[in-house]
Structure 1
Amino acid sequence: MAIVITNCTSRKTSRDDIGPSTSDLRTGTLSEVAREWRKKLTTTRSQHPASTVYCGRGFREVEAASKSLHAELYIISAGLGVIHSTTKIPCYNLTVATGTPVSIKDKVTPPYTPQAWWKAVTSDNPFGQTLKDLLAKNTNELILLALSRPYVGLVFDELEALTASNRENLRFFGKNTKSALPPILQDNWMPYDDRLQTLGKGYSGTHSDFAQRALKHFVHIILPTKPNASALEHGQYISQHFLMIKSYEKCERRKLDDDMIARLMHQHSRGGMLTTTALLKVFRHNLGIACEQSRFRKIYELVQNEYQR
């Protein structure tokens, strides 16, 4: 049996019972902030299975891939540690990504590193475990990891300390994550690139869900053909698979401010508001306008509220 691991998502299902948030924390040393965070977690009564809390295409892709493999699905959470998809968790709001209102970095007085936060938050966490502990319990399983660069950085120290027997079964997926991995694990990175976009429906998507789409391709196309291959052999087979596929030519889209995007939304919704997914496709493919998905959704909600007044 295999194990699939992905990072948590900033997108979570809308609930009235929002749990602890970075904004609720006082500024302090790393140990002080981690202690306060763990306390808030233990006093949060409302909890739901992790698979129903996280949402977004990327998460659903790995969820479907894990089911097709009959594999266990785990999530690396910056607030909870490594949790199983069935673990009941609060609907929290915390990230190690910078530049957001809920970045934990802004609450910790220097010195701060993501690795130090991970060590502190996984110590006696009521919900999760460390990645090291999970891998130690599953030395004979194939481990597929679809992670963004910030989350590779979060668990870097644990990855670097893995023994050779733990390393061989790991396969990493992510467009720009190879250089973020410890050198001893860079051969375990699967060499997917933008040509994944050319495979059409099911494999094309956005930068934010690239790792999960690559893992999906590996599960459905590569692994059935090479079930017992080594990490190096899997990487070589992927390179050969894409050898005859034409390089993906990325379309350069215009960037507009929020006001202009809102005006265009009004213009293209005179017959009634399209869904956010349908309207984003119009912007990207018909109008050639770039807009990150979460930003687009926020502007869409503002425009939609105006229609409902």
Structure 2
Amino acid sequence: MGAVISACTKKKSGAVQASASNIVPGTIEEVGAQWIRALQGSEALTSAAALYQGSSHTESQRAARNLDFPHLIVSAGLGLISADAPVPHYAATILAGNDSVLALLSGGDKAARWWRWLQANSPLAQSLDHVLNTSDGPCLIALPQPYLAMIADEVLALPPAALERVRLFSGMQAPQALAHLQMPYDERLDDKSKTYRGTRQNFASRALRHFAETILPGRETQSAAQHALAVDASLADWTAPELTVGQRKTDTELRAILSAHWDAMGGRSTRMLRLLRDDLGIACEQGRFAGLMRDMRATRGGTA
């Protein structure tokens, strides 16, 4: 049996009990101590599998179920946790914006330092080495680039035999020392005739699901190079969608368009973004779109 490891998601169920926005900036030890106290003060717990929401998490769950592998999650607030673990509803991320832990820390190389501290001090975290030691199959790690970079040192510290069982899935190039373990998925995954299309945000988990469903079964003991060749062969006849330059709109124009389609789309971000980009051919950068949706949701309501 192997393992599936995916990323936490910003969208979560329930009410926030521990938020990085309430932490006072300082050294990593000062910030970390405050954060652990906030987690320990949380009363209501839910399984990590039920806490995280969104298509990326759903795709990763599906891959783990298909393989009957344990599912683990890289959490910026909790460490590497089992999807079965009871956890508090928290708000913490290494990405820019609200609840960014890295914005609280002094010094450089913040993400990697934070991960090392969290793995050593979080009462919920387990080491990647332990995960590999308690399994004998492939370890499939699907993470966006910032999270993959955050845990790269821990991956590289694995014993050679364990490291060779790792397979990486990400929308961006893995660190050079790990590049040979990254599976060669690209824009062909968005072939319009296939069922693996999605947003760039969930690319890693969609690639993971394709690998779990069509590549790994029957090839569990093959090398990373053999797996990469199988991926290339599987995608050989797939076609990447043509890139088009979308129309440019002002914020006022975009708000009017979003408002006109709000009810039909149920106020859902993923559906709205698809509508703009695919159906209406309108360009809107992800961060800008997220800000517009937050503003509109504050006045109109809806889901993420």
TM-score (norm 1): 0.88
Partner amino acid, structure 1, of 2:4: V
- Aligned pair partner of 2:297 in 294, 301, 306: 301
Q: Secondary structure at the match of 1:159?
A: helix
Q: Could you report, residue by residue, the CA deviation over 1:108-160 in whole angstroms, capped at 9, with x for unpaired residues?
A: 1224521111111222312112323322333x121111011111111121112
| 1:274 match | 265
Q: Which runs of 5+ in 2 are unaligned?
A: none
- Aligned pair partner of 1:146 in 142, 147, 152: 142
1:5-84 map, 5 Å: 5-13=5-13, 15-16=14-15, 18-84=16-82
TM superposition shift of 1:84 = 0.6
- Aligned pair partner of 1:117 in 114, 119, 140: 114
TM superposition shift of 1:199 = 5.3
- C-alpha change, 1:274 and 1:246, in structure 2 (3 Å) is closer
| 2:205 match | 212
| 2:215 match | 222
Asked whether 1:164 is paired with 2:160, we answer yes
| 1:287 match | 280
Greater shift after overlay, 51-60 or 279-288? 279-288
Partner amino acid, structure 1, of 2:142: A
Q: Is the 8 A contact 1:6 1:62 kept in 2?
A: yes
Asked whether 1:155 is paired with 2:148, we answer no
Partner amino acid, structure 2, of 1:103: S
Q: Is the 8 A contact 1:196 1:204 kept in 2?
A: yes
TM superposition shift of 1:25 = 0.5
Q: Is the 8 A contact 1:30 1:109 kept in 2?
A: yes
Q: Which runs of 5+ in 1 are unaligned?
A: none
Partner Cα separation in structure 2 for residue 130 and residue 23 of structure 1: 27
TM superposition shift of 1:243 = 2.6
Greater shift after overlay, 286-295 or 56-65? 286-295
| 1:91 match | 89
| 1:132 match | 129
Partner Cα separation in structure 2 for residue 235 and residue 199 of structure 1: 22
TM superposition shift of 1:7 = 1.1
| 1:100 match | 97
Q: Is the 8 A contact 2:137 2:221 kept in 1?
A: no
Partner Cα separation in structure 1 for residue 21 and residue 201 of structure 2: 24
Asked whether 1:3 is paired with 2:3, we answer yes
Partner Cα separation in structure 2 for residue 255 and residue 101 of structure 1: 27
Partner Cα separation in structure 1 for residue 290 and residue 127 of structure 2: 29
- Aligned-pair identity (%): 28
Q: Is the 8 A contact 1:74 1:83 kept in 2?
A: yes
| 2:183 match | 190
Partner amino acid, structure 2, of 1:82: L
Q: Could you report, residue by residue, the CA deviation over 1:51-81 in whole angstroms, capped at 9, with x for unpaired residues?
A: 1111110100110111111111000111111
Partner Cα separation in structure 2 for residue 304 and residue 294 of structure 1: 15
Q: Is the 8 A contact 1:30 1:112 kept in 2?
A: no
| 2:195 match | 202
| Cα RMSD (Å) | 2.2
Greater shift after overlay, 149-158 or 186-195? 149-158
Q: Is the 8 A contact 2:145 2:173 kept in 1?
A: yes
Q: Could you report, residue by residue, the CA deviation over 1:187-225 in whole angstroms, capped at 9, with x for unpaired residues?
A: 111000000100535300110000000011111111235
